[in-house]
Amino acid sequence: MCISNMEIHLLPSSSLAPFMFKLVSISILTLLSSFAFGTNQIPRNESDRLALLDFKSALVDPLGALDSWNSTIHFCRWYGVTCGPRHQRVVGLTLESRMLRGAISPSIGNMSFLRVLDLQNNSLHSSIPPEVCRLSRLREFRLNDNALNGSVPPGLSLCSNLEIFNVNNNELEGNLPVGFSTLSKLRQLQVRANNLIGQIPISYGNLSSLRVLEADINRLDGMIPESLGSLPNLYFLSLGQNNLDGIIPPSILNVSTLEILDLSYNQLVGSLRPEMGFTLPAIRSLSVADNHII
Ligand SMILES: *[C@@H]1O[C@H](CO)[C@@H](O)[C@H](O)[C@H]1NC(C)=O
Ligand SMILES: *[C@@H]1O[C@H](CO)[C@@H](O)[C@H](O)[C@H]1NC(C)=O
Ligand SMILES: *[C@@H]1O[C@H](CO)[C@@H](O)[C@H](O)[C@H]1NC(C)=O
Ligand SMILES: *[C@@H]1O[C@H](CO)[C@@H](O)[C@H](O)[C@H]1NC(C)=O
Ligand SMILES: *[C@@H]1O[C@H](CO)[C@@H](O)[C@H](O)[C@H]1NC(C)=O
Ligand SMILES: *[C@@H]1O[C@H](CO)[C@@H](O)[C@H](O)[C@H]1NC(C)=O
């Protein structure tokens, strides 16, 4: 930027001497600025490399999936790593089903260009580091089928680009984060088979992009929020095997996009309405077994 500006000033110059002088001063300036850059801060692509190495060092890797993560190969070509074409920044980390064991390093939060984090179906344990909440460009968060414990970091609601959040089949505790209701791009919220407690936030009725809400096999209680009936794109709603009570809100039995509805194994009461066949025109699978519905 700076150099091209100066070149514009140079062009009208007729004498060669000042031209040479200016060229020399430009290269000194460039040299000085790159020197200052090198000493004062780590170049950002280098911080991605360090973060990846730190992530690797916290894991046991029986299949050698991360063997290519060595200094002879640029990190953009390491197995499972995807970089953006222009800036050599990590945009994807995809290491599914590699039998990786250990904790997720907090350094993962340093890869600030990360859009896809897919570590599904490994043996990752301990809690999800809250540093993931710094990944503001994150779109896909797939940590399902591991052994993660602790709670869902509430700060993930800052990741406003989040589209897919899948932590099915872990050992997570605590509540569904209320703040997730601001994730306007969230399409899939999948927390099946964990140890989550508390109520489904009423504000989730604001998740206008939501297509899949999969929260069965937890310990959720309270009533099913009527607000879920206003989700315009919902086609999969699975809340079976929890401790939900009260009636099935009529609004839920009125979602024209709904294809799969599983509310089985709860303490729901009331009765199903005969006109349901008309109000759920897309329904393919409906289960309300093992409740108190007559
Ligand atoms: C970091 O980026 C600079 C400038 O684009 C490049 O010269 C250098 O090779 C990159 N380093 C790594 C480790 O990618
Ligand atoms: C990640 O960033 C934090 C804070 O900027 C820094 O202290 C830490 O050393 C970084 N980790 C790595 C592995 O570079
Ligand atoms: C780095 O990884 C590549 C690919 O797995 C391998 O061929 C190479 O020998 C490795 N280099 C070192 C120094 O380990
Ligand atoms: C999570 O699991 C780790 C070991 O895998 C354990 O040390 C830690 O106490 C557990 N934390 C919680 C909150 O259960
Ligand atoms: C949904 O969002 C609107 C606008 O942001 C807000 O006024 C309303 O309180 C929200 N509804 C719930 C149930 O949180
Ligand atoms: C069901 O949907 C129809 C049409 O969208 C609407 O008029 C009606 O009020 C809804 N009923 C309930 C109980 O939400």
pLDDT mean values, one per 10 residues, the chain (294 residues): 32 39 41 40 80 98 96 95 93 98 98 97 98 97 98 97 98 98 98 98 98 98 97 97 96 95 96 84 94 90
CA of 261 to the centre of ligand 4 (A): 34
Ligand of minimum distance to the alpha carbon of 47: 2
- Enter the tokens of residue 162: 């989040």
Query: Does residue 161 contact residue 139 with C-beta atoms inside 8 Å?
Result: yes
* Beta strands at 59-60 and 101-103: parallel, antiparallel or unpaired: antiparallel
Mutate which of 148, 149, 170, 173 for ligand 4? The one with the most ligand atoms within 8 Å of its CB, which is 149
User: Residue 225 carries which DSSP code?
Assistant: P
39 burial class (0-12, 13-18, 19+ CB within 10 angstroms)? Answer: exposed
pTM value? 0.85
Residue whose CA is at the smallest distance from ligand 3 atom 7: 68
> What is the distance in A from the centroid of ligand 4 to the CA of 126?
5
Q: Which of 101, 106, 135, 139 is nearest to 121 (CA)?
A: 101
User: Which ligand is nearest the CA of 109, by number?
Assistant: 2
Residue 227 per-residue DSSP state: G
Tell whether ligand 5 has an atom less than 6 A from the beta carbon of residue 203.
Answer: yes
Which residues on adjacent β-strands are paired with residue 165? 141, 189
What does the pLDDT read at residue 175?
98
Q: Which residues contact 151 (CB under 8 A, 6 or more apart)?
A: 127, 172, 173, 174, 175
Between CA 20 and CA 172 the distance in angstroms is: 66
Which strand (E) or helix (H) includes residue 226?
A: none
pLDDT at position 45 is: 73
Q: Could you tell me if the CB of 205 is within 6 A of ligand 5?
A: yes
Q: Domain 44-241: give its CATH architecture.
A: Alpha-Beta Horseshoe (3.80)
Beta carbon of 254 within 6 Å of any ligand 6 atom: yes
Report the pLDDT value the prediction gives residue 41, as an integer from 0 to 100: 57
Strand 90-94, strand 81-83: pairing: antiparallel
